[in-house]
Amino acid sequence: MKPIVAIVGRPNVGKSTFFNKICGKRISIVDDTPGVTRDRIYADAEWCGREFTLVDTGGLDSKSDDKFQDDIRRQAQIAINDAHVIIFLVDGRGGVTATDEEVAFLLKRSKTPVVLVVNKLDKFEVENTYEFYSLGLGDPYPLSVLQSKGIGDVLDAIVSHFPEKKEGDLNDGITKIAIVGRPNVGKSSLVNRLIGQDRVVVSNIEGTTRDSILVPFRFNKKDYALVDTAGLRRSRSVEHESIEGYSVLRTMNAIEEADIVLFVVSGNEEKLTEQDVRIAGFVHEAGKPSVVVVNKWDEKSKAKPEFEKMLSQELAFMDYYQSVYVSALTGAGVGQIMENAERVYENSSRRISTGLLNDILHEAILYFEPQVKGGRKAKIKFITEASTNPPTFVLFVNDAKLINFSYTRYLENKLRERVDFSGTPIKIIVRGKEDKE
């Protein structure tokens, strides 16, 4: 397991900016509004050959009237408990505050190594660090994240607290599961149910989760990471440069980077909304295996067959979908989610022999040949599987223009009849002899 490094401190001291700088890309939301980061944000980082997981946390401020402050403090405490090293970030321009002293007291009780970092010293005024010795956390490290000054010294101090690297340590790949859906359909509650602890802020206020939160866990002796994303809103209600706008972009990135997607909808509504169908379209276009998780089924307004009929109509473009009916509130049905997630991922990773594929192809052609177009007839030579995740097949013909969408759809249906590709899209690429390899 990689060492975990948690960043803590009061609001607006530059935690998220530091996080993004170390990770090399914009993962955590950066905004001048205090309290933007509410949950823990995880990302992998590396320094001098030492890999670690960096965790950004919400700003701690006991005097804040932010209704989420209790949740932020609880999330920060969990990050502190999990961490091998803690970065305590303070503002060198503002000096020591009462909140800094409260956080320092909390950290000294944790017994975890702390690296005290004094940020916002854009002229690298080292003398501004001296008063922070009063916090009793050792030598303060001067830093200007914006000027990239002092970062190397801070990272050296962090990795010095890591345990000695053992030969043979391997960081096996983790299967990422993105949890997506409209705001307030219960995504965060499902995360907490799946992993058995309160790892994500849960609230009935729409839009609580603004960032994508990576939550590592194990299931069936395999490593996974749940990605709890911000709920997608209709685009006309989201300003491009707003915090919610960043959340939408992050959700889209989470779908692109995920291996499996759990698409959460509300079971207590009569039908899917425009946003629901739009999100499903994103998942389908990204080529991801997915499970439709119908949450809040304890508040159901329809019988299951009736709701399933509605789903099949609304999601006709992804008729391969797999659904499970659950209640994050009571835990009913939640155990089926990971079982289905594993199955759809297995289907998406399935390799089919060229021999079987061509048997299916010849049988399909005998039953229904491509239509003649412009007096020319398509001559299908053979089919092969080019890649997986999603399963992608290349159909070799004399002229690609003679094979239309309807026929590739027909071939897809024939493939699905013989092979279990439930829960995953498949792609068929038509290649004519005029196409270059």
| Per-residue pLDDT at 207 | 45
Element spanning 291, H or E = strand 290-295
The DSSP secondary-structure symbol of 371 reads: P
Q: Give the rounded distance of the alpha carbon of 412 from its chain centre.
A: 29
| Per-residue pLDDT at 79 | 63
* Amino acid residing at 353: S
| Per-residue pLDDT at 1 | 55
CA-to-CA distance for 80 and 60, rounded, in angstroms? 13
Residue 429 three-state SS? strand
* Residue count (the chain): 437
Sign of CA dihedral 338, 330, 301, 180: negative
Pair type for strands 114-119 and 141-142: parallel
Helices 151-159 and 15-23 meet at what angle, rounded to 10?
Answer: 80
| pTM, two decimal places | 0.59
φ/ψ of 78, rounded to 5, equals: -65, -40
| Per-residue pLDDT at 169 | 39
The ranges of the chain with pLDDT < 50 are 27-39, 167-172, 202-211, 230-247, 249, 436-437
